Amino acid sequence: GDEDDWSARPPVVTVMGHVDHGKTKLLDALRHTNVVAKEAGGITQHIGAYQIVTELDGVERPITFIDTPGHESFTAMRARGAKVTDIVVLVVAADDGVMPQTVEALNHAQAAEVPIVVAVNKIDKEGANPAKIRQQLTEYGLVAEEYGGETMFVDVSATTRQGLEELEAAVLLTADASLDLRANTEQDPQGVVIEGKLDKGRGPVATVLVQRGTLRQGDSIVAGDAYGRVRSLLDEHGNKLKEALPARPVQVVGLTSVPRAGDTFLVVEEDRTARQIADRRQARIRNAQNAQARKRISLEDLD
């Protein structure tokens, strides 16, 4: 692409933190939705991806949010979430404090060299102690600005909606201050699979994050070892989109099989090419699996 094809794109923000510290509820508050109510046992078990439009200094600014599970068994999802993101919002419940997955999440973010904004949530609750959270996190290198450090801490309540605008502003300020968020909409589309599932009615559905280029309905796509023609693109509300620009999370319908979370996707000129690439990848996976199996068998022979 040409220099001129580069344009500003929304920040991608992954929300992480210990189980039940209020990540999904906070996103519900920002999005005016109620995802929490639909979750089995109130536990997030997959990655959700949404785009909201907020306003800073009178300018409309989209932000892409990725929700992650806090339950300890979902380490891989948290690691992936930290890798695809520009900024991590670390949610810590003010009545509970720094917990094992708080530390795990900030480790993922620091390993990925992603700036962290701390959302001290549940400040409406009795026993909330936001100063203690700031104190605890200094041990992990997150020193609040008001204590002379560089990390933005925002006190929020997903329940009373206190601090939500400040949180959005902190995210945008972090994006503007430390990140060069541009993308080329004219490049060959590429991105990453956030989640794959088999839908009863629609068949394989992949939630992907477009990272460069513009993904369009009708494109021939390869995602991991899955391939197909993009039959439809849907946003998080189920609305059909003609195209998806960089930083846009979108559901892709039309793949012949279900790709895995973390797979990358790309667009090719012809369906035939998509199929060839996918076939080659499938063969490689089969070979690797066979080699594993052979190794297992020969080890068993030794026993």
Nearer to Na ion, 42 or 141 (CB): 42
Q: Hey, what are 109's tokens?
A: 């973010």
**Region near Mg ion per CB under 5 A, out of 43-51, 168-176, 224-232, 269-277:** 43-51
The annotation status of 156 as a binding-site residue, yes or no, is: no
Residue written as tokens 């949530």? 121
Min dist. Cβ of residue 55 to Mg ion (A): 26
23 sits near Mg ion (criterion: CB under 5 A): yes
User: Which of 19-27, 137-145, 207-215, 246-254 is the region at the interface with Mg ion (rule: CB under 5 A)?
Assistant: 19-27
Buried/exposed code over 2-19 (b: 16+ C-beta within 10 A; e: otherwise): eeeeeeebbbbbbbbbbb
Question: Looking at residue 22, what DSSP letter applies?
Answer: S
Amino acid identity of residue 222, one-letter, is: V
**176 forms part of the interface with Na ion (CB under 5 A):** no
User: Which partner from the list ligand GTP, Na ion, Mg ion, none does 163 bind, CB cut-off 5 to 8 Å by kind?
Assistant: none
**CB of residue 159 to ligand GTP, shortest distance in Å:** 4
Alpha-carbon span 33 to 22, nearest angstrom? 14
C-alpha distance from residue 145 to each of 2, 21, 96, 152, 171 (Å): 39, 22, 22, 6, 14
Give, as ranges, the residues between 10 and 39 that touch Na ion (CB under 5 A).
20
Check the annotation: does 221 bind a ligand. Answer: no
Check binding of 100 to ligand GTP (CB under 6 A).
Answer: no
The token pair that represents 261 in the structure block: 């979370």
Determine which helix (DSSP H) or strand (DSSP E) holds 288, and give its type and residue range.
helix 271-302
Residues 39 and 48: their CA atoms lie apart, in Å, by 12
Least distance (Å) from ligand GTP to the CB of residue 101? 8
Q: What mask of x and - would describe binding to ligand GTP in positions 16 to 55, judged by CB under 6 A?
A: -x-xxxxxxx----------x-----xxx-----------
Q: The tokens 């068998």 sit on which residue?
A: 297
CA 281 remoteness from chain centre: 25
**Which residue in the set 121, 151, 174, 184 belongs to the binding site for ligand GTP (CB under 6 A)?**
121
- Judged by CB under 6 A, does residue 75 bind ligand GTP? no
Which of these segments, 17-25, 57-65, 156-164, 242-250, binds Mg ion (CB under 5 A)? 17-25
Other C-beta atoms closer than 10 Å to the C-beta of 140 total 16
**108 in a known ligand binding site:** no
Q: Which of residues 136-195 bind Mg ion (CB under 5 A)?
A: none
If one asks whether residue 105 binds ligand GTP (CB under 6 A), the answer comes out as no
Q: How far is the CB of 109 from ligand GTP (least distance, A)?
A: 16
CA separation for the pair 101, 232 (Å, rounded): 36
254 is known to lie in a ligand binding site: no
Q: Which is nearer to Mg ion, 9 or 23 (CB)?
A: 23
Instruction: Count other C-beta atoms under 10 Å from residue 124's C-beta.
Output: 15
Residue 62: phi and psi, rounded to 5, are -75, 145
Q: How far is Cα 50 from Cα 63, in angstroms, rounded to an integer?
A: 8
Binding residues for GTP: 17-24, 67-71, 121-124
Residue ranges in contact with ligand GTP by CB under 6 A: 17, 19-25, 36, 42-44, 69-71, 121-122, 124-125, 157-159
Q: Give the interface with Na ion as residue ranges (CB under 5 A).
A: 20, 42
